[in-house]
Amino acid sequence: MGKKMERQTGRIGYAAKNIIFGIGGNVVTMLLRFALRTIFIAKLGETLTGVEDLYTEVLTLLSLAELGVGTALNFSLYGPVARGEREKVKSYMRLYRQAYRIIAIVIAVAGVALVPFLPYIVGEPGSLTLGQLRTYYLVFLFNTVSSYFVAYKYSLANAEQKNYIQTNTITVTKMITVALQILGLFLLPNYMVYLLTQAAVELAQKIFISRYLDRRYPLLKEKEVQPLSFAERREVQKKTGALLMHRLGDMARLQTDAVIISAFENVAAVGFIGNYKLIVNSVSNYVNVIFNSVISGFGNLIATEGKEKQFALFKVYRFFAVWVYGFTTVGFFLLLSPLLELVGRFLGKDLVLASSVIAWFLADYFLKGERIVLSNFKTAAGVFEQDKYLALIQGVVNLVLSIALVRPLGLTGVYIGTVVSGLIANVTKPIIIYRVCFDRSAWAYFADFGKYTVVIVVLLGLLSLLQGVLMPQVTAAKFVLMLVVITVVFNAGFLLAFGRTAEFGYLYHAVKERIGRPER
């Protein structure tokens, strides 16, 4: 019993530390990114903003070469790390290193092979020459490829539930990079200088963190390593194969929107939706820290606890996610365009998109919150094979719908395809998880989804009426007032509806206990 309590306390403690550092890091990076993008648009314009966003998406597509190896090996590490099996950890880390070196080479080759097709991907590049587009792209490619020679080392810290090491490294790097890039934009507003500044800082960070992790985990440098058994390698290959299907589908569904918009509309339109994405992703990164910080804790939980305990904590995890994603979705729907209207006035530019685009974009954001809960638990439980073809089906649906609808509906059509394809996973994943992980029917999951959605929609309607009264014109003061009103009304309404549930009770007592416990 004592060891059980110790494990639970350790999980909560590590999760709390991961969340604290993660939230702090995301607050800093969110503010820095927003400031940087504002200055970037003012100094370099919408076309280069679109190129920046497009290349980021293209390089994410190329990262498909990772094939899910990282996720499969992270899962494989949870058990050996929890049991203190040092030699087994060394064996998995050796395999991980070898795999990532091959992946880096594959991405480099595929990335270079894509260079001749850039004129077809970048729609209406304005005054940018083909030589410039190629050079900018190759700098992006270098940053992506070089990361794979270090990234595998973070997996050991994450398996120990010390995700904050990676979070802190990223935060500090981002602070230095953005500070230097802002200075460069004022002194020498040149995009090539901007990109090389980022590349230099990130390269220095990769060298530093590689040496730091080698010192923290000396086993990474040990030469005598026992190879994994055939069964263990086969298990990793099996999970990697299933994850490949997930990655292919996810890429086709999530990372192709920018390419479709650039090819069928223009590259500047990528920058316009990128302004909204910057704000939403900055906040969702802040939110995801909370949910991603407990993946390793769930891996430990699944390795050491029974299904009833796992199910109870899954329900708490899901309840908290709906609360946070519901609140942020309502806030974004009401305040995103007013915020960009204020920024546009400052820059002398029109940055606001049609409300129909925002509605579909945010519908996908909210549904994605549900999927993150399901995907994170599946990852921690190692459930990869049961729905390995699902993501491929989603990817095909997204591509067909988005391409078919982009001409008649523009950006709205692209995001209709994204939402419809995402709904497939929102329906099927709960069924799989409840059957495989909990030996239960998923009807209760969908009933809860209905209750949560009704409450959120009612609160959105109420707040929309209040916005019409309190913010008939957009000013900074009224924006702040509306932000306060949304925060108070939404959370009060959600508490009124669900404050007596077991899930809320668990959260309340966990927070109360954590606050009341003195640090050792």
| Domain presence at residue 159 | yes
- Structure confidence by residue, pLDDT tens digits, 191-205: 899 899 989 998 898
- State how far the Cα of 492 lies from the Cα of 461, in Å rounded to an integer: 15
Closest CA to 87 of 210, 228, 214, 213: 228
Closest CA to 128 of 193, 62, 53, 46: 46
| Domain presence at residue 245 | yes
- In terms of pLDDT, which residue wins out, 383 or 277? 277
| Domain presence at residue 310 | no
pLDDT band at 30 (very low <50, low <70, confident <90, very high): low
Mutual orientation of helices 390-409 and 411-438 as an angle, nearest 10°? 160
| Domain presence at residue 386 | yes
- In terms of pLDDT, which residue wins out, 305 or 341? 341
pLDDT at residue 6 is higher than 60: no
Neighbours of 470 (CB within 10 A): 12
| Residue in the structure block whose two tokens are 């974004």 | 332
| Domain presence at residue 489 | no
The tokens describing 88, both together, are 């087994």
Number of domains the chain is built from: 1
The answer to whether the beta carbons of residues 47 and 267 sit under 8 Å apart is yes
DSSP letter at 518 equals P
pTM of the model: 0.66
| Domain presence at residue 153 | yes
| Domain presence at residue 449 | no
Q: Compute and round to an integer the Cα radius of gyration of the chain.
A: 23
Domain containing 224 equals: 2-305+353-440
pLDDT of residue 3: 44
The answer to whether the beta carbons of residues 388 and 245 sit under 8 Å apart is yes
- Structure confidence by residue, pLDDT tens digits, 497-510: 998 998 888 878 77
pLDDT of residue 121: 78
Q: Which phi and psi angles does 157 have, rounded to 5°? A: -65, -40
pLDDT at residue 189 is higher than 70: yes
- Structure confidence by residue, pLDDT tens digits, 37-76: 778 878 887 778 778 888 877 777 666 544 455 566 666 7
pLDDT of residue 486: 95
- In terms of pLDDT, which residue wins out, 372 or 199? 199
- In terms of pLDDT, which residue wins out, 12 or 237? 237
pLDDT at residue 299 is higher than 50: yes
The answer to whether the beta carbons of residues 466 and 485 sit under 8 Å apart is yes
Of the ranges 64-78, 390-404, 405-419, 441-455, the best mean pLDDT one = 441-455
- In terms of pLDDT, which residue wins out, 355 or 76? 355
| Domain presence at residue 398 | yes
**Section 310-316 average pLDDT:** 82
pLDDT of residue 409: 87
